[in-house]
């Protein structure tokens, strides 16, 4: 390969084997070695003839284009031709193909997602500063502060290249937060893997966990929670979702739009390379298939140092107020950034693509437009502010290049060395992609599954129950996740008030007042498999309950909807039902969805994952000093169980342990959830409880053990009264996963106040025991005594056994 081709390239239109690096046009005196002539005589080396310009496209309407290879359907390609009134240029085709991919256009999900906007009440709008549609939603938390947060998927890249896939998942969501004008303050990672003992699971767990740690730790963002779930349905499709949260002052909100004709467009951060080319369309929109060639090169490579510098540099730009609009470069790279900035603003932009700084000088214009190189941002700057902008870039040694300017033409025009290679209405690229009403139907198999209730083992004697609790706490999904979370920095920034294994992660926002936020993410794919509508409601219910358990008032929701192929009517029905369930539940609980992400095609060899709607809830504290941890600490405090228990073992962790998945999931009673949340929030604010833990997977048994293990503090509990009240046996009380329940520890001096508050709300409450700090065991009177050392051992040895 010759060295002379600095920045110049050729671009073949219809063939895979193009001319390679061309020589500099017209530069006959270049001093490098002779360019190797690999171009056929019919394709002159001079790039002027190889760049597929708009003029050329008009003159050569019959040229074949590789639209199918780029993931466009026949009808979609015809639509592009119709929009343009001619065939697209190669560069335009690259843009449309990535921007109209499932990942970027939400073409299969859009018709359903509208419900999140339609089912919105005034209560839900009260705190919303920026809703769905921007890089991330923004919520008012009071005192002039706002919070922006969002969860996204990086599932497919993480399966192909676990370390880089997971790392760049963190990087991408953090840039979304920065581009809203916020300082990122925490991350969380909901993860789902295949069976813990499958040979491929260790590869994914090691790569993904170290990728998240390697990237997130280097950014200085505390990792405050998330999930780690093992289930064989995720074997070929692990789910790597990443959530980030940022804080900003109200007046600092930045939106991604390019306004003001004459303002300059600048690309800054890392250089553009060949990584992730086609990632958006190829990886996220097709199912894995063993017959296709390796997709490794399509995964991006992360540079957390570059991102950390970018964060600080962007915050200085915001402080100096020198950017008019800003957009991160994620999926679809420059295609996405230019078309979204232009169409959200005054509607026009004119850029020169040869100005883009390249890591790989052989990239074609189409590749430059599609590249998903990480750690890049695009901004719009007024001419007066250019010098100030450049000074900040120089301070942080961040590279930048001025690409062009905002226009009022309504057209996005991209030139290559002065010749126009893209001339489109940016809205047709960014917002007017195809929308599909995919067929969907309730799966025929569902009746059979729902009729198959759990009838398996029900331990009854004290010894049997004791063994059952040990077995439960040693189950991969119930086991301690310390092995994972100890690889994440939870302290950096000095504002972490709670992190895993507590119910929610809690971050202080204002050091003076103590104003802060709580975050939790939850989903139960098994519940959603049994009933997608109810499963989505249950995911919200649990996440909402977790946030309230920590003492925070739930305020807003973000979601990451992970499903199989939308082209399968069964899957599409699961998706439609999940969206309907989640949007209904949000309305009932009065919390709006502020943004999120849809990940489809999580399907390998025709087998889809369980529907997995990961729901993140954000809550607010007036003072995080009031937060409630999940473990009890003070000897002699009373332990109360809030809520009632029914025989709801279908879909439970206990049934899972017995290899059973059938029946109907627990019922979500959202009025009950709201009441429970009010009690937990008031109790926290007024200092009536010292510990609280929600009941979810593993039921009361898991909650009692976890609250004991948290600070190594035992307890004595008695179940018979509650069993009589609820009409269930001890096994059911311990293992059922009925919703709307929590356990709390109450100081003796607060018991009357606390029980009065519960009875005033007619909320079922039962005193089930006392904290016995020095006993070193959890005693369930009349049934069994479990030494904490014994249960800790089985609980903590699981992950190290498989992964250490």
Partner 1 sequence: MTETPLIGAPAPEAGSNAALAGARIGVVTFPGTLDDRDAARAVRMAGGTPVQLWHADTSSDVLSDVDAVILPGGFSYGDYLRAGAIARFAPLMSRIIDAANSNAKLPVLGICNGFQMLTESHLLPGSMLKNDHLKFICRDQVLRVENNTTAWTTDFDANQEITVPLKNQDGQYLADDKTLDALEAEGRVVFRYVGFNPNGSRRDIAGIANEAGNVVGLMPHPEHAVETGYGPGSFENSSTSTDGLGFFTSVLNKLVGGTK
Figure out which of the listed residues 303, 367, 534, 648 binds partner 1, where binding follows CB under 8 A: 303
Backbone angles phi, psi at 780, to 5 degrees: -105, 105
DSSP 20-68: -SPPPTT-TT--SSPPP--S-TTS-SSGGGTS--HHHHHH-TT----TT
Figure out which of the listed residues 151, 256, 284, 498 binds partner 1, where binding follows CB under 8 A: 498
349 binds partner 1 (CB under 8 A): no
Q: Write each residue from 604 to 643 as x if it is in contact with partner 1 (CB under 8 A), else as -, in one continuous string.
A: --------------------xx---x-x-x----------
Pick the closer one to partner 1 by CB: 318 or 575: 318
Q: How far is the CB of 790 from partner 1 (least distance, A)?
A: 19
628: Cβ–Cβ under 8 A, 6 or more apart, which residues? 549, 550, 551, 680, 683, 684, 689, 690, 691, 692, 744
Figure out which of the listed residues 113, 393, 499, 778 binds partner 1, where binding follows CB under 8 A: 499
Figure out which of the listed residues 197, 408, 511, 756 binds partner 1, where binding follows CB under 8 A: 511
Figure out which of the listed residues 416, 440, 488, 621 binds partner 1, where binding follows CB under 8 A: 488
Q: How far is the CB of 788 from partner 1 (least distance, A)?
A: 13
437 binds partner 1 (CB under 8 A): no
508 binds partner 1 (CB under 8 A): yes
Crossing angle, helix 670-685 and helix 569-589, to 10 degrees?
A: 50
450 binds partner 1 (CB under 8 A): no
730 binds partner 1 (CB under 8 A): no
Candidate segments 96-104, 674-682, 711-719, 784-792, binder of partner 1 by CB under 8 A: 711-719
Please give the span between the terminal C-alpha atoms of the chain, in angstroms, as a whole number: 45
- In degrees, to the nearest 5, what angle opens at C-alpha 764 toward C-alphas 760 and 767? 105
Pick the closer one to partner 1 by CB: 69 or 486: 486
β-bridge partners, 147: 139, 247
User: Which residue from 737, 640, 725 is spatially nearest to 680, judged by alpha carbons?
Assistant: 640
Crossing angle, helix 788-796 and helix 699-710, to 10 degrees?
A: 100
d(CA 599, CA 157): 12
Pick the closer one to partner 1 by CB: 273 or 596: 273
Pick the closer one to partner 1 by CB: 2 or 493: 493
232 binds partner 1 (CB under 8 A): no
Pick the closer one to partner 1 by CB: 407 or 713: 713
What is the rounded (10 degree) CA torsion for 312, 316, 319, 322? -130
650: Cβ–Cβ under 8 A, 6 or more apart, which residues? 453, 454, 530, 662, 663, 664, 665, 666
Q: How far is the CB of 708 from partner 1 (least distance, A)?
A: 12
Pick the closer one to partner 1 by CB: 143 or 452: 143
d(CA 244, CA 762): 38
Pick the closer one to partner 1 by CB: 224 or 734: 224
774 binds partner 1 (CB under 8 A): no
Pick the closer one to partner 1 by CB: 223 or 327: 223
Figure out which of the listed residues 16, 61, 199, 494 binds partner 1, where binding follows CB under 8 A: 494
3-state secondary structure of 516: strand
Q: Footprint of partner 1 on residues 184-223 (CB under 8 A)?
A: 185, 210, 213-214, 217-220
Pick the closer one to partner 1 by CB: 401 or 487: 487
Give the binding-site size for partner 1 (rule: CB under 8 A).
56
Candidate segments 85-93, 284-292, 495-503, 645-653, binder of partner 1 by CB under 8 A: 495-503
Do residues 203 and 152 lie in contact, with contact meaning Cβ atoms separated by under 8 Å?
A: no
747 binds partner 1 (CB under 8 A): no
d(CA 161, CA 208): 9
Candidate segments 366-374, 390-398, 533-541, 735-743, binder of partner 1 by CB under 8 A: 390-398
Pick the closer one to partner 1 by CB: 210 or 401: 210
Q: How far is the CB of 10 from partner 1 (least distance, A)?
A: 34
711 binds partner 1 (CB under 8 A): yes
d(CA 804, CA 799): 7
Catalytic positions are 103, 154
Q: How far is the CB of 492 from partner 1 (least distance, A)?
A: 5
User: Which residue from 372, 210, 212 is spatially nearest to 301, judged by alpha carbons?
Assistant: 372
Q: How far is the CB of 216 from partner 1 (least distance, A)?
A: 10
3-state secondary structure of 374: coil
Figure out which of the listed residues 87, 254, 350, 490 binds partner 1, where binding follows CB under 8 A: 490
Query: What's the 3-state SS for 317-372?
Result: HHHHCCCCEEEECECEHHHHHHHHHHHHCCCEEEEEHHHCCECCCCCCHHHHHHCC
User: Which residue from 750, 737, 633 is spatially nearest to 689, judged by alpha carbons?
Assistant: 750
Pick the closer one to partner 1 by CB: 349 or 509: 509
Figure out which of the listed residues 450, 453, 487, 755 binds partner 1, where binding follows CB under 8 A: 487
399 binds partner 1 (CB under 8 A): no
Exposure b/e, 497-535, CB count within 10 A at least 16 = b: bbbbbbbbbbbbbbeeebbbbbbbbbbbbbbbbbbbbbb
Q: How far is the CB of 344 from partner 1 (least distance, A)?
A: 22
Q: Write each residue from 234 to 263 as x if it is in contact with partner 1 (CB under 8 A), else as -, in one continuous string.
A: -------------xxx-xx-----------
The phi-psi region of residue 656 (left if phi > 0; otherwise alpha if psi is between -120 and 50; otherwise beta) is alpha
Do residues 338 and 350 lie in contact, with contact meaning Cβ atoms separated by under 8 Å?
A: no
Do residues 520 and 591 lie in contact, with contact meaning Cβ atoms separated by under 8 Å?
A: no
Pick the closer one to partner 1 by CB: 105 or 217: 217
Q: How far is the CB of 318 from partner 1 (least distance, A)?
A: 7
The phi-psi region of residue 622 (left if phi > 0; otherwise alpha if psi is between -120 and 50; otherwise beta) is alpha
Q: How far is the CB of 192 from partner 1 (least distance, A)?
A: 21
Count the neighbouring beta carbons within 10 Å of the beta carbon of residue 472: 27
Q: Tell me, what DSSP letter sits at residue 735?
A: H
321 binds partner 1 (CB under 8 A): yes
Do residues 388 and 320 lie in contact, with contact meaning Cβ atoms separated by under 8 Å?
A: yes
Candidate segments 76-84, 136-144, 182-190, 375-383, binder of partner 1 by CB under 8 A: 182-190
Q: Write each residue from 350 to 389 as x if it is in contact with partner 1 (CB under 8 A), else as -, in one continuous string.
A: ----------------------------------------
Candidate segments 235-243, 308-316, 636-644, 762-770, binder of partner 1 by CB under 8 A: 308-316
Q: How far is the CB of 778 from partner 1 (least distance, A)?
A: 17
Count the neighbouring beta carbons within 10 Å of the beta carbon of residue 308: 18
486 binds partner 1 (CB under 8 A): yes
Pick the closer one to partner 1 by CB: 268 or 440: 268
d(CA 675, CA 544): 12
Query: What residues line the site for partner 1 (CB under 8 A)?
Result: 182-183, 185, 210, 213-214, 217-220, 247-249, 251-252, 303-306, 308-309, 315-316, 318-321, 395-397, 485-499, 508, 511-512, 624-625, 629, 631, 633, 711-713
């Amino acid at each position: 390969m010759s060295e002379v081709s600095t920045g110049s390239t050729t671009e073949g239109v219809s063939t895979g084997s193009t001319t390679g690096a061309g020589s500099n046009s017209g530069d006959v005196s270049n001093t490098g070695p002779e360019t190797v002539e690999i171009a056929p005589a019919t394709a002159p080396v001079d790039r002027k003839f190889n760049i597929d310009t708009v003029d050329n496209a008009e003159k050569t309407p019959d040229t074949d284009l590789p639209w199918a290879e780029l993931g466009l359907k026949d009808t979609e390609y015809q639509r592009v031709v119709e929009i343009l009134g001619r065939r697209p240029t190669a560069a335009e085709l690259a843009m449309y193909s990535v921007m109209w991919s499932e990942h970027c256009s939400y073409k299969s999900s859009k018709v359903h997602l509208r419900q999140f906007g339609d089912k919105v009440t005034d209560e839900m709008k009260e705190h919303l500063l920026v809703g769905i549609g921007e890089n991330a939603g923004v919520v008012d938390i009071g005192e002039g502060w706002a919070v922006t947060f969002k969860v996204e998927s990086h599932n497919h890249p993480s399966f192909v290249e676990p370390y880089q896939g997971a790392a760049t998942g963190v990087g991408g969501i953090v840039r979304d937060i920065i581009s809203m004008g916020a300082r990122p303050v925490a991350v969380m990672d909901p993860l789902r893997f295949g069976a813990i003992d499958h040979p491929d699971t260790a590869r994914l767990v090691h790569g993904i966990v170290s990728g998240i740690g390697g990237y997130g730790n280097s950014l200085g963002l505390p990792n405050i929670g998330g999930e780690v779930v093992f289930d064989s349905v995720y074997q070929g499709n692990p789910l790597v979702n990443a959530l980030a949260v940022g804080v900003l002052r109200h007046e600092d909100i930045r939106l991604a739009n390019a306004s003001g004709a004459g303002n300059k467009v600048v690309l800054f951060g890392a250089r553009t390379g060949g990584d992730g080319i086609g990632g958006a369309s190829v990886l996220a929109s097709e199912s894995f298939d063993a017959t296709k060639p390796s997709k490794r090169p399509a995964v991006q490579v992360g540079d957390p140092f570059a991102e950390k510098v970018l964060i600080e540099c962007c915050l200085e730009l915001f402080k100096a107020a020198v950017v008019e609009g800003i957009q991160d470069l994620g999926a679809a790279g420059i295609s996405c950034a230019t078309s979204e900035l232009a169409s959200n603003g005054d509607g026009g932009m004119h850029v020169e693509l040869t100005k883009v700084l390249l890591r790989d000088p052989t990239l074609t214009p189409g590749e430059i437009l599609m590249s998903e190189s990480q750690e890049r941002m695009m901004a719009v700057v007024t001419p007066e502010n250019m010098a100030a902008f450049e000074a900040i870039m120089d301070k942080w040694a961040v590279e930048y290049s001025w690409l062009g300017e905002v226009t009022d033409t309504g057209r996005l025009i991209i030139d290559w060395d002065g010749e126009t290679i893209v001339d489109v209405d940016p809205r047709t690229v960014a917002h007017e992609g195809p929308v599909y009403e995919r067929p969907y139907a309730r799966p025929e198999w569902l009746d059979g599954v729902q009729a198959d209730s759990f009838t398996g083992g029900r331990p009854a004697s004290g010894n049997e129950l004791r063994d059952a609790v040990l077995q439960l706490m040693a189950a991969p999904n119930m086991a301690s996740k310390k092995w994972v979370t100890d690889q994440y920095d939870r302290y950096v920034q000095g504002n972490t008030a709670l992190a895993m294994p507590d119910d929610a992660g809690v971050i202080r926002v204002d050091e003076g007042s103590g104003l802060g936020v709580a975050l939790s993410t939850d989903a139960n794919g098994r519940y959603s498999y049994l009933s997608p509508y109810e499963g989505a409601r249950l995911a919200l219910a649990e996440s909402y309950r977790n946030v309230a358990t920590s003492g925070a008032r739930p305020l807003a929701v973000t979601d990451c909807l992970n499903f199989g192929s939308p082209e399968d009517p069964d899957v599409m029905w699961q998706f439609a039902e999940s969206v309907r369930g989640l949007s209904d539940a949000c309305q009932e609980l009065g919390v709006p969805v502020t943004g999120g992400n849809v990940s489809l095609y999580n399907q390998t060899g025709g087998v889809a994952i369980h529907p997995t709607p990961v729901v993140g809830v954000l809550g607010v504290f007036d003072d995080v000093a009031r937060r409630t941890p999940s473990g009890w600490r003070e000897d002699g405090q009373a332990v109360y169980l809030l809520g009632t228990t029914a025989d709801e073992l279908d879909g439970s962790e206990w049934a899972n342990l017995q290899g059973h998945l059938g029946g109907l999931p627990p019922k979500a009673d959202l009025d009950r959830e709201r009441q429970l949340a009010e009690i937990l929030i008031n109790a926290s604010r007024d200092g009536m409880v010292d510990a609280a833990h929600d009941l979810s997977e593993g039921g009361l048994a898991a909650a009692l053990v976890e609250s004991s293990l948290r600070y190594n503090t035992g307890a004595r509990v008695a179940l018979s009264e509650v069993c009589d009240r609820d009409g269930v046996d001890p096994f059911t009380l311990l293992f059922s996963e009925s919703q709307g329940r929590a356990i709390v520890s109450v100081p003796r001096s607060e018991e009357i106040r606390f029980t009065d508050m519960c009875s005033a709300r007619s909320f079922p409450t039962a005193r089930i025991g006392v904290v016995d700090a020095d006993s070193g065991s959890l005693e369930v009177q009349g049934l069994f005594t479990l030494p904490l050392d014994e249960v800790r051992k089985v609980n903590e040895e699981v992950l190290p056994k498989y992964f250490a």
